[in-house]
Structure 1
Amino acid sequence: MEPYYAGWLSLLPPIIAITLALLTKEVISSLLIGILSGTFIYSVGTSASSLFAGTIETAFNVMAAKVDFNILIFCTLLGALVYVIAMAGGTRAYGKWATRKIKSRKAALLSTGGLGAFIFIDDYFNCLTVGTVMKPVTDSYKISRAKLAYIIDATAAPICIIAPISSWAAAVGSNLKTTGAFTSDFSAFVATIPYNFYALLSLVMVAVICLTNADFGPMRRSELRALKGDLGAVDVPQASQFEAAEKGKVWDMLVPIGSLIVFAVVGLLYDGGYWGSDP
């Protein structure tokens, strides 16, 4: 596919997808309609011979071209790593240690947000790790699962989309470079950071809520129920439950996650040609 400048029409697909998702509460069909609206605009702009066939064909071509099995394997291995850490007892040990060290509700909220900002390699790994690790801590201070989920979600993707070294940086940078407006993937990604208002404002909002405890709307109602003992926990199916090791140590979690971050950064720098390449 050749790049096509659609001007303000390029805003319509995400607006359509978000609006439909909010109205229907159904994500997959909303995203699909948003994609089709974008490929329709592309077909009209490129004067396709058949708008209907061009719209469908472009959608399939785009989706087929973006299938990356490396990312699928990467995300699968991240999930496996979280499971292994939990089975080894590292998650439970860290939760107990953090519960002893954290002395207030505000500190528990800030620790959750801070850990979410620290794990910037991948948003899926961020959600899996922070949720598993901080759940015992937030439960001990009667913080609702809804608020825990909000803090995790509002730090995972936003921190990854503005971190120069992340799975998102590689994807966004490579896509923007195809426009020809940037000299490299990295420069393309860095140029978007000041204009990524959603990510920046989401992180600011998390900090404000953690520091001020200014809940509102459904979040406030969830917090009031949590203070009475109803955390809003979801029952886990019996088939997915497991028994973690009792003798796990904090290092059983810190060493694997620390190694992942260090070697991921080193690998990204090496693959990007920042070191190890021939002069």
Structure 2
Amino acid sequence: MEHLGWVSLIPPILAIVAALITKNVIISLFLGTFSGVLILASGMPLSATKTIIGDYLFVQLTDSYNAGVLVLLVFIGGFVALMEKSGGAAAFADKVLRFLNTKAKTQLAAWFGGIIIFFSDLGTPLLVGPIFEKIFDKAKISREKLAWIIDSTASPVAVLIPFIGWGVYIMGLIKKEFDSLKITETDWDAFIQAIPFQFYPILAVLMVPLVAITKLEFGPMSKAEQRVQQTGALFWPSSKPMRKPDNMAELQNTKSKASLIWVPLLVLLVTLFGMLIPLGFPFKKIDGSAFRVALTTAYLFAALVLIAMMVIYKVKKFGEVFDIYLSGMQRMMTVATILVLAWSLGTVMKNLGTAAYVVELMDGNIPGYLIPAILFVSGACMSFATGTSWGTFAIMMPLAIPMAVHLDASIYVCIGVVLSGGIFGDHCSPISDTTILSSTGAGTDHIDHVKTQIPYALLNGFSALAAFLIAGATSSVLSLGAAIMIMVVTVIILSKRKKSGYIEVQS
């Protein structure tokens, strides 16, 4: 395996350091990519600049696969914006409010609502949070609990879905590495096979009903629940609740129909599978371009149906609806830029032999079964420090997949590790956008949300880490069962040890 030695580590390290300093994924990926091209250009800045534009950025944009992914992301962005502004989520919630007569049902309803809004990780906090805020107050459930629930059903749910923006982005990263390594398996198949190894997202989603049904709580969350139940105080005296953005009031006051949520999603799924089944799905391998065409068509048809429904039900005027659609498309330009830079960084690292150098350092020095655990901890630390899971995926995937191939580890486990580590760190990070939006959506103090969520996140993280040690040795999906068992047993033990008692608060 050819490489340039330790200098091949400069691009990923610089990208990580820049992300820590700037908190900006685009700047970080560009600096990492440019540094690599500068090395390849023998330190000549002008030549490196021409090379990065002509041989990397342009090449990524003109590649047919990459172009298909970018077009698909644009259509997804338009559809998501329509769904967020339609008011359908609020109308859907109104339909089920009369059934929420217990604390458990109320929490499960918010959990289910977060899963329903799977198409937008940022939409979940801003749609589900305001809807359930007053319901939780009436049921004497803490705002911190609501923030935790919507945070646990935002990115942890989105990262498990292959046919939304998250899945498309991740499969784009996987495809780039598969092409470099001449792996013939499709990115779709690899993503699906890796889902059972996304231990942390799965645990984060499953812990919500476990806590809701069993009432097993611990740490600061237990104190927050006691505060609300014993005194009725929504916040601690020192708390500073996040203000709601203006558009939340608009969403809550929008006259809409519940059908604006489920009908477009039904159209999307029927169109998608209606185009794939004649091609042999799910029993035959589907060409990647055919899948992307089907998915793009499905999002287009779903958007057209939703636009028509919003106009017919007089939710918005046609001009306003079309502007929303276009604004959603424009919003995906940032994602597209990140993806192009991520592809470019991956190509630079391949040309430098970064993965080959890392593999050479580890080969014979570190047992293969430890590779998933090392990748998980590394990804989690990076994501926590930067507050971004997507940036973590972009940097870690070009390292993890080649390592899996050359060190004879499971590719599916290593893909699941990268995704789990990114979500774990992002879930704990106080500077993560989903963490901030969850505090905002629930109308609670941001630091209170972070403090009450971290113990749950750490429990799931340690459970996932233990399971990755098992998965590294066995590559078996049964390790997911081990992760779930560890989580459940630990929750029960911690809950039995929690201290109960009156907590003094000021109204």
TM-score, normalised via structure 1 length: 0.66
The one of 63, 68, 78 aligned to 2:80: 78
Q: Equivalents in 1 of 2:268, 2:150: separation in Å?
A: 21
Aligned to 2:212: 210
Q: Equivalents in 2 of 1:200, 1:206: separation in Å?
A: 11
Q: Which amino acid aligns with 2:266?
A: V
C-alpha deviation, 1:101, in angstroms: 0.8
Residues 129, 146 of structure 2: 8 Å contact kept: yes
Q: Equivalents in 2 of 1:119, 1:226: separation in Å?
A: 28
Aligned to 1:176: 174
Pair 1:116–1:69, CA change in 2 (3 A): same
Q: How does 1:80-119 map to 2 (within 5 A)?
A: 80-85=82-87, 91=90, 94-119=92-117
Q: Equivalents in 1 of 2:130, 2:14: separation in Å?
A: 31
CA offset digits 1:45-101 (Å, max 9, x no partner): x84533978599869949x85894653553354233333326xxx72x544443321
Aligned to 1:235: 243
Q: Equivalents in 1 of 2:50, 2:200: separation in Å?
A: 30
Is 1:263 matched up with 2:267? Answer: yes
**5+ long unaligned stretches in structure 2:** 280-289, 291-507
Q: Equivalents in 2 of 1:79, 1:37: separation in Å?
A: 31
Is 1:139 matched up with 2:132? Answer: no
Aligned to 1:151: 149
Residues 162, 193 of structure 1: 8 Å contact kept: yes
Q: Equivalents in 2 of 1:196, 1:71: separation in Å?
A: 23
Aligned to 2:253: 244
The one of 50, 59, 72 aligned to 2:43: 50
Q: Equivalents in 2 of 1:225, 1:84: separation in Å?
A: 36
C-alpha deviation, 1:116, in angstroms: 2.2
CA offset digits 1:221-262 (Å, max 9, x no partner): 54445442325753336687447267x6xxx12x11111221
Residues 162, 192 of structure 2: 8 Å contact kept: yes
Q: Which amino acid aligns with 2:153?
A: T
Aligned to 2:29: 35
> Helix, strand or coil for the counterpart of 1:163?
coil
Q: Equivalents in 1 of 2:74, 2:222: separation in Å?
A: 37
Residues 156, 201 of structure 2: 8 Å contact kept: yes
Q: Equivalents in 1 of 2:266, 2:244: separation in Å?
A: 33
Q: Equivalents in 1 of 2:96, 2:118: separation in Å?
A: 21
C-alpha deviation, 1:108, in angstroms: 1.2
Q: Which amino acid aligns with 2:205?
A: L
> Helix, strand or coil for the counterpart of 2:153?
helix
Q: Which amino acid aligns with 1:190?
A: I
Identity %: 22
C-alpha deviation, 1:187, in angstroms: 0.7
Q: Which amino acid aligns with 1:151?
A: I
Q: Equivalents in 1 of 2:114, 2:241: separation in Å?
A: 20
Pair 1:183–1:55, CA change in 2 (3 A): farther
Greater share of helix:
2
Which segment is superposed worse, 70-79 or 97-106?
Answer: 70-79
Q: Equivalents in 2 of 1:130, 1:215: separation in Å?
A: 24
C-alpha deviation, 1:14, in angstroms: 11
Residues 116, 155 of structure 1: 8 Å contact kept: yes
The one of 104, 117, 121 aligned to 2:119: 121
Which segment is superposed worse, 98-107 or 34-43?
Answer: 34-43
Pair 1:173–1:138, CA change in 2 (3 A): same
Pair 1:146–1:268, CA change in 2 (3 A): farther
CA offset digits 1:110-149 (Å, max 9, x no partner): 2222232344334344444433443343232233333222
Is 1:196 matched up with 2:216? Answer: no
Number of residues of Structure 1 aligned to a counterpart in Structure 2:
253
Task: Give me the CA root mean square deviation.
Answer: 4.4
